[in-house]
A and B are shown apart, each in its own frame.
Chain A
Amino acid sequence: MSFTVPSHLESELDEITTHYPVKRSASLMFLHALQEHFGYVSKDAVEWTARKLGLQPINVYELVTFYPMFRQEPLGKTHVKVCRTLSCALQGSGELRERFCSKLGLDPHAHAPQTTPDGKFTVEFVECLASCGTAPVVLVNEELHHKVSSADADAILQKGKAA
């Protein structure tokens, strides 16, 4: 499969590059745009970005792996982000994540985000989602769920399976 960036996107990015005093400063904008278009940042996307900005692939790859928002693999249709920070942790977000993982056949102790083989779910432990008062909090795609109980978790899974 060859990697092609549509010409309108490429010219948009070329234009963005001109806003920066040095080309490499446009790296993050490139990665955001490519992730939005392709759903994730592939190795090809890293190499393409490096080529466009006169960098070595490792320079761009460092960025991709530094920011948790950049994905190196396609995400599941339902993206479950469980908050791991203090308030949510005290309110049992650890158990909540374990529940999601074990019900989906994923490793409950893995460090990185995990996606089910059927591509339906990605489960991820994330830092504070800024709704500490309603802990534990789970962000499902763009929708924030508050005070999530085990029953709520199961309902999220049900909905995701049907999606």
Chain B
Amino acid sequence: MSAPAQPAPAPAPQAPPPVETMTVKVNGKTVQVPKTHPDWQGKPQPATMLQAARCAGVDIPHYCYHDKLPVAGNCRMCLVEFGTPMMDPATRKPVLNEDGSPKIAKSVLPYEPGTPRGAIACATPISPGMEIYADSKATLQMREAVLESLLINHPLDCPICDQAGECKLQEYSVQHGQAGSRFVEAKVHKPKAVDLGPRIVLDDERCVLCTRCIRFSKDIAGDDALGIVNRGSYNTISAFETGKFDNNYTLNTVDLCPVGALTSKDFRFKMRVWFLKESKSVCTSCGTGCNITIGSREGVVHCYEPRENDAVNGPWMCDSGRLNYKWIGRADRLREVLVRGTRSTWSAALQDLTVRLSKAPAGSVAVVASSRQTTEELYLLKKLAARTGATTDSVAREGEADRLLVAADRNPNSNGARLTGISFTEAGIRIPEIAAAIEAGTVKTLVVFGEDVTKHGIPAATLAKLETLFVSDILPNATTALATHLLPGAAHAEKRGTFVNVKGRLQKFMKAVEAPGDARPEWEFLHELVHGVTGQNGYSTIEGLFNQMAREVPAFAGLEWAKIGDTGVDVKI
């Protein structure tokens, strides 16, 4: 390969624009708060008391407020006592205490000056010198009162509720609630197990009517499907027609719901959240590469949840991507190394392949690698191809884009394939050429990673003409059935690596579970193979491999594995 590329010149240090701040006090601590904060659409808006408290490291309890939704201010959970500097009406000067500090007028009821008057922290802008008392007696009383009223009709079925363990009602009740209920009247009963849509079940009795789900559906997903019906204590979240809440983003409402009202049909009653191991990963179902957290237990993947990344997916992901994890645990996963249909070992199979590939005359090898493989794997495959003078390509996978997240490109790493030189501007254009070369007898060895090429232009009859068909895949298909050498690979959840999304965001992902049987991460055995065939030394750790790739592939110049944060970096595509 080429000599190490020049490291990219460090970007000229840009002086960050000065942030205008305002001084307020939170629980007695003085903090400088930026005057504006981005609202749900990223537009700067005056900072609120809730945001000021966050700057002071204080989290004010809240239900309806969400950084990425329009402010509703309906739950009242965030009520806090506050005060503002007193002004002398005549001089318009601040009134000072004896020690020279400004005198603070606490907010009180106008007709009852002894009673503190709270304000909702989520929607009240701060003013200079304001004091926020997020843990004063009055604030705690307001919180208790709000919680008491929320719990009046709540069924308290935490033992069978999926939200238990990550429920805001549970958490705040433990912090601020009372042990006993003073409510002696009959509770209002509301609909249970409402079939809201194909993926969502609603328990209206648990709902705290924060309207997060309504706002998400209307303002983010663009499907104005949910609303509050009936009135008073019979208020109920509902869709016009049950069963029809079916846009491709409905499962985000389950994440958003602060309580256990909205539940996922897929996850309902399956697993306690505190048993799940969480691993940072990336969705592989389209080129957007939404950041996800994989929830797994004892080697089994149980769910994907979106992981916030404002540069890619915000806090959301689509339903189809979220539910596309079951293949990882399929019973028919490839788990054995097979040479001509007979079980073999990694060392024997790799040895045989090393000899074959080393001896292969230039031009007699071709490579078809999936854009579902990691960048590091594609890079190693390209190295292998370069050594044998092989034609390479990947397979295009197109669908329809939507207005929110889903990309038309259904491969997670098309840019990785392009940047490593596996494919060209248009993925798949060289496949007919490869098929023809096999037919003509020039190409005698085909390397296939992660694709069923019989569905993409190289029919089984053509494959039958090969001397060596070296295949690595995860699940069985028509191509793996014809392989002379079949090496079982690992799902992204079973290895570490990177993908480059459609917009050029390079993102790394971590391992959640072990690969089944003898299956191994492809980069591991590709590294051994490349070492054997080219005689060049490589790296047996993903860190070393990535850094080596970054030195050789111009688009990644200057990058280091350790320096790619959890939310990825932009590369030039």
Contacts and interface: CB of A to CB of B under 8 A. Distances in A.
Interface residues of B, number: 13
Nearest to B233: A111
A58 B224 contact: yes
Contacts of A68: 231
Interface string B233-248: 0100011110000000
Nearest to B214: A58
Interface residues of A: mostly helix, strand, loop or mixed? helix
B240 A111 contact: no
B231 A58 contact: no
Given A56-B224, A56-B225, A61 B240 contact: yes
Nearest to B245: A58
Nearest to A66: B231
A58 B230 contact: no
A56 B240 contact: yes
A46 B240 contact: yes
A62 B229 contact: yes
B227 A61 contact: yes
Contacts of A61: 227, 229, 238, 240
B228 interface: yes
A27 B231 CA distance: 18
Interface in A32-75: 43, 46, 56-59, 61-62, 65-66, 68
Contacts of B228: 62
Contact of A62 (B225, B227, B234, B241): B227
A66 B228 CA distance: 9
A58 B227 contact: yes
A43 B228 CA distance: 16
Interface of B: 224-231, 234, 238-241
Given A66-B230, A68-B231, 16 more contacts: A43-B240, A56-B224, A56-B225, A57-B240, A58-B225, A58-B226, A58-B238, A58-B239, A58-B240, A59-B227, A61-B240, A62-B227, A65-B229, A65-B230, A66-B229, A111-B234
20 contacts: A46-B240, A56-B224, A56-B240, A57-B240, A58-B224, A58-B225, A58-B226, A58-B227, A58-B238, A58-B239, A59-B224, A61-B238, A61-B240, A62-B228, A62-B229, A65-B230, A65-B231, A66-B229, A68-B231, A111-B234
Interface of A: 43, 46, 56-59, 61-62, 65-66, 68, 111
